[in-house]
Amino acid sequence: MWELISSGGWLMVPIILSSVIAVAIVFERLWVLRAARVAPAGLLGQVWQWVREGQLDAAKLKTLRADSPLGEILAAGLANSRHGRDIMKECIQEAAGKVVHELERYLNTLGTIAAITPLLGLLGTVIGMIDVFSAIMVQGTGNTGVLAGGISKALITTAAGLTVAIPAVFFHRFFVRRVDELVVTMEQEATKLVEVVLGNREVDFNGNGNGNGRKVAAVAGAKGA
């Protein structure tokens, strides 16, 4: 392994560093972007139960805000529900913008690694080929073994760059898709919250953690809860 790395030249250093960063980002995002952590099932039902029973206070809002990204969005809306639908929606949108920014953290870095590592590998190969042709000019083409070995070494950086880039591209697109799905889920839950707290409609959502859908009639009196 060390022989391959040393044969690839100094450009192997940024490629290896990029691979380490990419692996760290992948494991960190796999942990952070879990659906159970970002948008826990039954959270909206629990919030509605607090509202209906008059248990929603500053302590509950603080706990909700720290519980999950979805909880942070719902808490922002509930804290401003007395100011009307427009203000409530605006606060939800502001909180959602912050949450989405956090969900997308490091994805640009991962995408950059996926884009530059093949180029670094190609650059290493070009530099290696220049060295090979320089050797041909000096020694001629009589020793084909030396030429083949030089070309083989020149291609090592390209292989290394592609080895890093291909998984990076896959996981970048996977995480972008995961974020999009989570954002849609949180938007739906936030919309249900507004309809339940300020509307006069029936909304279906999961109960408090039991996974069974139930229908709740939102009444105007809930606004003051």
Distance CA 83, CA 86 (A): 8
Query: What pLDDT, on a 0 to 100 scale, did the predictor assign at position 24?
Result: 97
Burial of residue 211, with CB atoms counted within 10 A of its CB: 0-12 exposed, 13-18 middle, 19 or more buried: exposed
Residue scoring higher pLDDT (180 or 44): 180
CB 202 within 8 A of CB 213: no
- Rounded to an integer, the average pLDDT of 190-214 is 60
pLDDT tens digits, 122-144: 998 888 887 777 766 776 666 66
Quote the pTM value.
0.79
Residue 212 has pLDDT above 50, yes or no: no
pLDDT tops 70 at residue 187 = yes
Question: Token match 């502001």: residue?
Answer: 94
Band (pLDDT 50/70/90 cuts) for residue 15 is very high
**35-93 confidence digits (pLDDT tens):** 999 999 888 888 888 888 777 788 888 888 888 999 999 888 888 877 777 888 888 99
pLDDT band of 161, cuts 50, 70, 90: very high
Alpha helices in the chain (DSSP H): 2-8, 12-32, 35-38, 43-52, 58-67, 69-79, 85-103, 107-139, 144-198
Task: Tell me which residue of 165, 22, 169, 35 sits closest to 103, measured CA to CA.
Answer: 35
123, exposed or middle or buried, with CB in 10 Å at 0-12, 13-18, 19+?
Answer: middle
Indicate the Cα dihedral angle 56, 44, 210, 67, nearest 10°: -70
- Which span out of 5-14, 43-52, 92-101, 188-197 was modeled with the highest average pLDDT? 92-101
Judge whether 196 and 203 are in contact, CB under 8 Å.
yes
Length of the chain in residues, anyone? 225
Q: How confident is the model at residue 215 (pLDDT cuts 50, 70, 90)?
A: very low
Does the structure show a pLDDT above 90 at 119? yes
